[in-house]
Structures are given as structure tokens and as C-alpha cells.
Homo-oligomer: A and B are copies of this chain.
Amino acid sequence: MTGFDTKLNEAIKKYNSLLCIGLDPDPNLLPIKDVALFNKEIIDATKDLVCCYKPNLAFYESLGMDGLQALEQTIAYIPSDIPIIGDAKRGDIGSTAQAYAKALFDIWQFDAVTVNPYLGKDSLDPFIAYKEKGIFVLCHTSNPGASDFQELTIQVDKNPHTLFQHIAAKAETWNVYGNVSLVVGATYPKQLKLVRDICPDMTILAPGIGAQGGDLRGTIQYGLNGDGAGLIINSSRGIIYASKDKSDFAKIARQAADQLRTNINIHR
């Protein structure tokens, strides 16, 4: 097990939770203007209910330097026993991929990151080389357009299957250090089942519960590994913006997180 997997499994057990909260500060939805303070209050209200947090870098980058400073403060504030997944979906080649891995692991100090496989195995190697970190490869994403390319039928060894299944099978072969994981949207439970068949033990991050309308029961039924874990269920807007009122957003976020955690555990 990698450092990330160990930390994740300990948090799953300690907080009896498969819930990941996405910390995605959208200026159109934020109840208060101060992003670092908003995240701090969300973390204070939910830190005993989650197995990890997942800030998506896009929202911080869209706020300029102030946003990046808020991300820095947020990462520093998250308790050290809770792993942090940097949702960056990076993908580049050679020394550039190495620079992204350095940025995400050495500068931002994420425990795990999301990466895009379109550029091929050599574009992911610099990430995988960080043996103690978690590498979540995009396999089948949660959006409607996921089917555009990920569900195309491909021919490999005269055996037709879809691109996302091919990527899942490849990810198995890449997983020599035990640090490769997958992203499969909770909005596609049938596809999740196909991926779990290919990768029986791999950790799967399933975003799309809540605002995107993902299927919680199907995600848990098909997504758990043999140990009843190996699955991270992410909700962002459905929790952090459950109330957009500055007087009670943290309290209502806790209620929403507690309810989702309980619902997940009922179906486990």
C-alpha cells in the first residue's frame, strides 16, 4: 500500500466514511466572499465526516493570485490525518509532465491528484514515480459528454471494447507501485460495474453525487471492492452550497454531509 492508500484507509476507518467533499469555491454560489474562511468553516464543520477533501484547482486559478493563496491556506488548514486530492486533471509530456508532478506534489503537497490519460503512458510516468502519492487516472467522467470519446468502441487484439475499459485495463498494468487509481463518474453506474470487473482492487473516485444527480445506490453496489471499501464518493456543490446563507452555511453543510455519509453507509 502506498502512503496515500494507508492514509486514506485509516481515515475511512476512523471516520467511518467513504465521503469526499469537493472544495470548489464558485463566486456565483459562495455565501461569503473570503474563500479561505469559507473553506475553513466547511472543514471545521465536516472534518469528522469525511475520508478526504478534494479541491479542484480550476476554481482557485479563476480567482487569480488571491485564489491560489486561499488554496495554500486551505491545504495547510486541513487536518493532517485527512488526505487531500488535488483535482487538477493534468496531462502533458516529458519534462513538462514532470514539472506538473513537482507542482502538485512538492509545491502544493497534495496526497493524490487526478490526471488525464489522453497523452499516453509516458505522460503519467512522472506522476506514478511518486510512489507514496495517489494517481487518479480519468477513466469515465461524470459529464454528459463523457460518452463522446470514452465510450467509443476500439479494436485491440480483435477484441472490441470501449476506450474507458481499455484505459482501466491499462491502468491495472501501470499499477506496479500500487498507487494508481481511477475516476469513474457516479452518474454512470453500469460503466462503473464494467470498470470494477476489470480492476477488482483499485481505489475508485466517483464524483457526480448531488448536483450532477449521480446514482448513489448503484455507485455503491458496483463500486466497492471486495473489502467493502476502495471507493471514494465525492459531492461538492450538494454539500458546500446546501445553504447559500452566510448565517448557516457551515451548519447546513454538516447536515448534508452527515446525511450523505449515512446514506452511503446504509448501502455499504
A residues contacting B by CB (< 8 A) are 24, 26, 56, 58-59, 61-65, 68-69, 89-97, 99-100, 102-103, 106-107, 116-123, 138, 141-150, 152-156, 160, 163, 166-167, 170, 212
Do B62 and A65 have beta carbons less than 8 Å apart?
no
Interface of A is mostly: helix
Do A62 and B116 have beta carbons less than 8 Å apart?
no
The complex places the Cα of A163 from the Cα of B94 at a distance, in Å, of: 22
Do B149 and A99 have beta carbons less than 8 Å apart?
no
The complex places the Cα of A146 from the Cα of B259 at a distance, in Å, of: 44
Do A155 and B149 have beta carbons less than 8 Å apart?
no
The complex places the Cα of A147 from the Cα of B118 at a distance, in Å, of: 10
A-B contacts, 27 of them at CB < 8 A, read A56-B96, A58-B92, A58-B99, A59-B99, A62-B100, A65-B68, A65-B69, A89-B90, A89-B92, A89-B116, A91-B118, A93-B142, A93-B143, A117-B118, A118-B138, A118-B149, A119-B143, A120-B141, A120-B144, A120-B148, A121-B145, A121-B148, A122-B143, A123-B143, A123-B145, A154-B155, A154-B163
The complex places the Cα of A59 from the Cα of B98 at a distance, in Å, of: 9
Q: How far is the CB of A246 from chain B (nearest CB, A)?
A: 21
A237 and chain B: residue at smallest CB distance: B95
The complex places the Cα of A26 from the Cα of B63 at a distance, in Å, of: 26
Given A59-B96, A89-B92, A152-B166, are A119 and B103 also a contact pair (CB < 8 Å)? Answer: no
